[in-house]
Every structure is written in structure tokens, then in C-alpha cells.
Chains A and B, each alone.
Chain A
Amino acid sequence: MTDPETRLKELLAKIEDLKGFSREQGIELDQEVAALEKKAEALREKLYSNLSGWQKLQLARNNKRPTALDYFQLLFTDFIPLHGDRQFRDDPALVGGIALLAGRPVTVLGHQKGRDTKENIARNYGMPHPEGYRKALRLMEQAAKFHRPIICFIDTPGAFPGIGAEERGQSEAIARNLRVMAALKTPVINIVTGEGGSGGALALGIGDCLLMLENAVYSVISPEGCAAILWKDASRAKDAAAALKLTAQDLREFGVVDEIIPEPAKGLQESWELGLPAIKEALVRHLDILEHLPGEVLLQRRWRRLHALGQWQE
């Protein structure tokens, strides 16, 4: 038996053949075509619901998916970008501002990847320096001041490993975000839209509700890094991707993720228009619930959620 991907390709070719034949010969074949299309759709669904961790990682890294700034423009209205950490510089790898979600003011933050090499160099491939996290912290504290909910879009290979980043305290910047986010008296929604890479992702990752797109991944280390450290062989990244259990589906099963937002067939990169409404709907729905909770209740809930993470024997 051929693999499902080849079968789907053959089926799609057959459908095109039939359509062409029908047009040329003037023979009515709509029913047959519809039946085959239905079959192809089912096959496609099956194919994409059985993706391995490694395949999901490739989808999550696809540079045709929307970036944070795309989400800010397309899911919200009246987005106003805000810049800078007030200490060193404005980090282009981490963007943020204020915007309206279905009419209500929110603070939005996100890792910003580029769409091509030139953009990616300017955005440092979505890998923030400490000043990026400090900008995020400033905007989050500002949001809490005005009782504005916060929505964080997570999509990064990780925090940047470089000399300047270490000199300026990458560890301290991430750690401080974790501590302060645990105590923000305003609702925080975190959504992993692509690549949730380690501590650099987590620095925007503490909140009241964790959402993941269907093909997003979230991991303690990149599969490449894991394979290099554990097996001294980066080419075993596929095995590491499976072992790390980093897909949205794995994490939902673990109870770490609250909800998976479905993507269009073949992934969000194929059709933004089909995928974005589900994201907006989920954000609005969760915010509707969270914004009625008093600050103290939010903090209690957040602590209980975090404290419950992990299992052990006693």
C-alpha cells in the first residue's frame, strides 16, 4: 500500500482528470467528482491529524504563517504600537502595543519573526535580547495599571544566546518577567502560535489561560539542541522531537494547555482567512470569562494552575 500522502496526490490528480474530461466531453460527472473530493478531504484530514512532532515543528516554523504584527492587525482594531524598554533600546524581536479586541482595550505582545531572510536579520529571527523582555515587562505593568487585559503571542526559537544578551542579563530579564507575571492583577491570555522555544517563550508565557494553535509546538529545548546534548548527534532531532512530546495535542493531554485552536487543512499558512476567525473567537470567549474575575481571584487561580504542573512520587 502506498503512503497516504502519495494516495492523496493521486486522488487529487484523478479529480483534475475527471473535471477536465467532463469539460471536454460535455459529460455530467459532478456526482463522481464530489464523491472523490469528499474522499480526498477525509484523507487530507487524516493525514494532517497524524503529523509527527517533527512534522508539526516544520509547520510551526513555516515562514508563511502570520507573525505577531499580522495578528495585531488582523484580529484587533486600532492597534497602536508602543516601543522601547526605557533603559537600553527597542528590541525589534519583541513587539507590542495597545489595541481593541471586539471593542475592548487590551495590551498585545509577541515575538516577531520575519517573513524572509532580510526581515529575519532585522528581527533577529524572533529571538529577543533582555531589552525585549524588559519592554514586555514595562507594557505588562502598564496594562495592569489601567486594568487592561494582556494577550501574549508566543513564537520564538528562544531567547538570543549572545555576548550582549549575557552582558545585559538575559537570565535576569526572563526570571523577572516570570515573577512579575505571576502577580499581575489583570487577565493574561497566552497563545502559542508557532514555535514555543524554551525560556524565551515562557517569558511571555505565564497567565490565566494557555492556548495553542493546532500545529504549534512548545518545548523545554529545541529537538536539535536536545539531540546534540543527549546523543551527541544533532541529526537525531526527529527522535528528540518525538521524545519531547512537544505538540499541542501532547500538551493538551498533559493538561498543560487549556484549548487547541483548529487550523485550516494543511495548516494556517495555507489560508489565513479560514484560520483567523477561530483564533479571535477563542480569545474573545476566554476574555469574557476572565475579565469578570477580581484581581485576587486571578492570582489565586494562577498560582494553583502553576503549582499543579508536574507529577512525582511521594
Chain B
Amino acid sequence: MALFRKTKYATLSARPGAHKDIASKCPGCNAIQFKEELEKNLYVCPACDYHFTLTAWQRISITFDENSFEEMDAGLTSLNVLNFPGYEEKLNRARESSGLTEAIITGKGLINGEPALAGIMAPEFMLGSMGAVVGEKIARMLERAGSEGIGAIIFSASGGARMQEGIFALMQMAKTSSALSRLHDRGVVYISVLTNPTTGGVSASFAMLGDINIGEPGALIGFAGPRVIEQTIGQTLPEGFQRSEFLLEHGMLDMVVARKDLKATLSRLLRFHRRGGRE
């Protein structure tokens, strides 16, 4: 037996930010939460109920029945039509860091057994901004919902139109809204789920046009960003301004639904609007 045993220390990797792989600081209450715990809790802070922003695939995995989601139009990628300085580099960086091809994933899947066409915006790809590809993927998904008579859901998470695509980005507001007008005429339900954040050209087009509009708790939802408003009117904004609960109070949402109840709510709503009437 050694008299002087060398104390063994656990060594942590010196790589900066390594702790982020296992834990996150909650933006709501500043508490450190372990990733594993968060994931089990659907990325909602157990301490303060803060709803973390989800990546598109996280959203899909907590919403759709296992292995039921089939992606469509995954091969659509953006072009730099305006020759906007730096846009290609930005796109490449976004593709690398997110592993996605664009700021939305569209497809068909089952939610508690109920089929739905869906668009899931990816805030991790250029802040979920909408350019021609996002508009086209949404339009195709809605057309398919119309022809198959199956309800459509879009989970919005976006800063708005993508500046680098200029007028074409603006026109996607028109394109997606007119696709919804066609779905509207066919009597197929469209549910809009507004998550943090949903602003600008996305909130001022398809996100606000749901037959049923659902907000996630605490999500920032508005036309203009809070900073722009503060600069315009020269005063600070009241607490809770432009949050889901504020929009519910002002009549812009049908409901604010906690993430743990969202899947069940969506499947109930889909069942209500199932084609061919009652079960």
C-alpha cells in the first residue's frame, strides 16, 4: 500500500465551449440545465417553463409519430439571383452549420396517427429567413395538401423575408398567401403554429393566416421587430409586448399551447377537420 497516493483528478476538456455539449444556460432564468434533461422535457426549462427554440429536426421528432415523417422537395437549393455580395458564402456557412439545405423542411407525416402535410421552419438556417426556396417548398406542400385533402400545418420560426433575395423574397409572401387562398377554397384545414420568433414577412403572410393560429408560450410574434419600434417611437416597450400571450389577449391567436400539449392539440384539431366528416 502506498503511503502517498497521488490524488486523481477528473480532467475536463480544455476546448472552449465544451460544456455547451452537455448543458445550456436557460435564457429565461439563467439556470444551467443539462441537455439530456432538457431533451426529455421537450426543450422546456423545468425551472421556469422557458420554451427553447427548436431546430427543425428537433421539432419533427417531438411532433410526428416515430419514423412517420417523409420529407419532400429536399433537393431545392437557393441561387444568388441578385448577385448579392456575400450571399453564397452565407448560404454555404448556413448549410455547414445546420446540416440543412434550406430554412424549411416540408413533408408528410402522422401525428398520433392523423396524417398531415407540414412545413417546419429552421431558425438555425439564416434565422429561418424566407427566400424563393422556402416560398416554393411551402407552395408545393400546400398544393399537395389541397389535392390529397389532408390538413396542413406550418411551424413558423423566422425573422422574415431574406434580404439577399430582394424583390423575390418579398414576393414569396404573395406566393405563399395565394397558395393558402387556393387551399382555403378547397375547404382543407390549415393550422399555423407560431414559435419563437415569428416576425416580418413570415408573420405578415402565411403565419397569420391559419384557420387556427396557435402560439407557443412566450414566443416573440410581430410585424416589426421590437428594436425598430423602439427606435421609431422613441420609448421602451412594455413587458410582454409582442409575446404569444399578448397576441392572444389582442385577438390574434386562437390559443397558446404549452409544448407538452402541442402534439395532442394538433392531432385533435386534425381529427376534427378530417375529410369525410365524423369518425
Q: Which residues of A contact B228 (CB under 8 A)?
A: 161, 225
* Chain B, Cβ-Cβ closest to A220: B170
In the complex with contacts A161-B224, A172-B252, A309-B174, A166-B167 CB distance below 8 A: no
Q: Which residues of B contact A183 (CB under 8 A)?
A: 178, 181, 184-185
Pick from B14-22, B32-40, B92-100, B206-214 the stretch touching chain A.
B206-214
Q: Which residues of B contact A160 (CB under 8 A)?
A: 232
CA distance A45 to B208 in the complex (A): 46
Q: Does B205 lie within 8 Å of A220, measured CB to CB?
A: no
Q: Which residues of A contact B250 (CB under 8 A)?
A: 167-169
* Chain B, Cβ-Cβ closest to A166: B222
Q: Which residues of B contact A239 (CB under 8 A)?
A: 85
In the complex with contacts A309-B132, A310-B172, A220-B252 CB distance below 8 A: no
Contact of B166 among A167, A230, A245, A314 (CB under 8 A): A245
Q: Does B175 lie within 8 Å of A309, measured CB to CB?
A: yes
What is the predominant secondary structure among interface residues of chain B facing chain A?
helix
In the complex with contacts A166-B224, A182-B181, A199-B200, A175-B171 CB distance below 8 A: no
B149-207 residues at the A interface, CB under 8 angstroms: 161-163, 165-175, 177-182, 184-185, 200-201, 203-207
**How does the 8 Å CB contact mask read for A287-314 relative to B, with 1 for contact and 0 for none?**
0000000000000001100110111111
Contact of A166 among B78, B139, B184, B241 (CB under 8 A): B241
Interface flag for B75 (CB, 8 Å)? yes
Interface flag for A170 (CB, 8 Å)? yes
Contact of B136 among A171, A256, A312 (CB under 8 A): A312
B224-239 residues at the A interface, CB under 8 angstroms: 224, 228-229, 232-233, 237
Interface flag for B251 (CB, 8 Å)? yes
CA distance A147 to B264 in the complex (A): 45
Give the A-B pair count, Cβ closer than 8 A. 186
Q: Which residues of A contact B181 (CB under 8 A)?
A: 179-180, 182-183
Contact of B233 among A163, A174, A245, A311 (CB under 8 A): A163
CA distance A205 to B172 in the complex (A): 12
B214-260 residues at the A interface, CB under 8 angstroms: 221-224, 228-229, 232-233, 237, 241-242, 250-252
Interface flag for A122 (CB, 8 Å)? no
Q: Does B204 lie within 8 Å of A199, measured CB to CB?
A: yes
Interface flag for A165 (CB, 8 Å)? yes
The range of chain A's interface size is: 35 or more
CA distance A245 to B221 in the complex (A): 29
B125 to chain A, nearest CB (A): 15
CA distance A254 to B76 in the complex (A): 20
Interface flag for A206 (CB, 8 Å)? yes
Q: Does A303 lie within 8 Å of B178, measured CB to CB?
A: yes
Q: Does A229 lie within 8 Å of B133, measured CB to CB?
A: no
CA distance A16 to B203 in the complex (A): 58
Interface flag for B119 (CB, 8 Å)? no
CA distance A169 to B224 in the complex (A): 11
Q: Which residues of A contact B128 (CB under 8 A)?
A: none
Interface flag for B82 (CB, 8 Å)? yes
Q: Which residues of A contact B136 (CB under 8 A)?
A: 310, 312
B17 to chain A, nearest CB (A): 24
In the complex with contacts A310-B168, A312-B132, A206-B174 CB distance below 8 A: yes
CA distance A216 to B205 in the complex (A): 24
Q: Does B170 lie within 8 Å of A199, measured CB to CB?
A: yes
Q: Does A220 lie within 8 Å of B84, measured CB to CB?
A: no
Q: Which residues of B contact A172 (CB under 8 A)?
A: 208, 252
Starting from the known contacts A161-B228, A226-B163, 12 additional A-B residue pairs (CB-CB under 8 Å) come to A159-B204, A159-B223, A169-B208, A171-B204, A178-B205, A179-B177, A179-B209, A182-B178, A219-B166, A220-B170, A229-B163, A306-B175
Query: Nearest 10 A-B pairs (CB), nearest first?
Result: A310-B132, A161-B224, A182-B178, A178-B177, A170-B223, A171-B203, A220-B170, A174-B204, A175-B208, A309-B171
Residues in B lying within 8 Å of A, measured CB to CB = 75-79, 81-82, 84-85, 131-133, 135-136, 139, 161-163, 165-175, 177-182, 184-185, 200-201, 203-209, 221-224, 228-229, 232-233, 237, 241-242, 250-252
**30 contacting pairs across A/B (C-beta < 8 A):** A162-B224, A162-B233, A163-B233, A165-B223, A167-B250, A171-B203, A171-B221, A175-B173, A175-B203, A175-B207, A176-B208, A178-B178, A182-B177, A199-B170, A199-B223, A202-B170, A202-B174, A219-B166, A219-B167, A219-B170, A220-B166, A220-B170, A244-B166, A254-B167, A306-B175, A307-B139, A307-B179, A311-B81, A312-B76, A313-B79
Residues in A lying within 8 Å of B, measured CB to CB = 159-163, 165-172, 174-176, 178-180, 182-183, 198-199, 202-203, 205-206, 218-221, 225-226, 229-230, 239, 243-246, 251, 254, 256, 302-303, 306-307, 309-314
